[in-house]
Amino acid sequence: MIHDDDLAPSEEIANGRLQLFMFSANWCGPCKAMTPMVEDIAESYADEVAVAKIDVERSAALAERFHIRMVPALVLYREGQEIARHTGSMNRTRLSLMLDDAIGGGAA
């Protein structure tokens, strides 16, 4: 969980892996519903992807920097570049496909 507007600690933890940012809010029902699924994905793809959850109210500047207008929103990031984005609910299969496309091979 990122608690402020600083991505540096997350980038350090990612250590060269892809980064998946899940933008959410504590009043957002679909965000809460998706969280266990994203945690499953984080475990399945731990070798390739670092997952971070970002609350759009606690990290308003980050949300603005990523142009987040609705939540939940998933942003896939590699070496400082956004490579994929999805806004709204998403199931585990579709998210795994998005990650597989980015990684360039099968996973999970």
Partner 1 sequence: MNAQAIALDTLRAALRWEGPGSVAVEDGSALADLAAWMVEQAGPWPDAARVTMESLIAMHRARSDSQEDWRRLRVSAVTLGDSDDLETRWAGWVAEAAAWPLAASRSGLAEIFRAVAQLCADRAAAETGWTVQDRAQAEEILGKLASGTDGAVPPREKIPALFAAADPVLEKRFKAQLDAGNAAYEVFRKAVIAWLKDRIGQNNGPAVEGDVRG
Judged by CB under 8 A, does residue 94 bind partner 1?
A: yes
Q: Which amino acid is at 36?
A: P
- For residues 6 and 39, which CB has a smaller minimum distance to partner 1 in the complex? 39
For partner 1, which residue of 37, 84, 102, 103 counts as binding (CB under 8 A)?
37
Judged by CB under 8 A, does residue 96 bind partner 1?
A: yes
Judged by CB under 8 A, does residue 60 bind partner 1?
A: no
Phi, psi of 15 (to 5 degrees): 50, 50
Secondary structure class of 31 (helix, strand, coil): helix
Active site residue 9: no
For partner 1, which residue of 33, 46, 61, 70 counts as binding (CB under 8 A)?
33
- For residues 11 and 37, which CB has a smaller minimum distance to partner 1 in the complex? 37
Judged by CB under 8 A, does residue 36 bind partner 1?
A: yes
Sheet holding 18-24, edge to edge: 49-55, 18-24, 73-78, 81-87
Active site residue 48: no
Residues 6 or more apart whose CB falls under 8 angstroms from that of 41 comprise: 20, 49, 51, 92, 95, 96, 99, 108
Q: Which amino acid is at 50?
A: A
Interface with partner 1 (CB under 8 A) = 33, 36-37, 39-40, 43, 91-94, 96-97, 106, 108
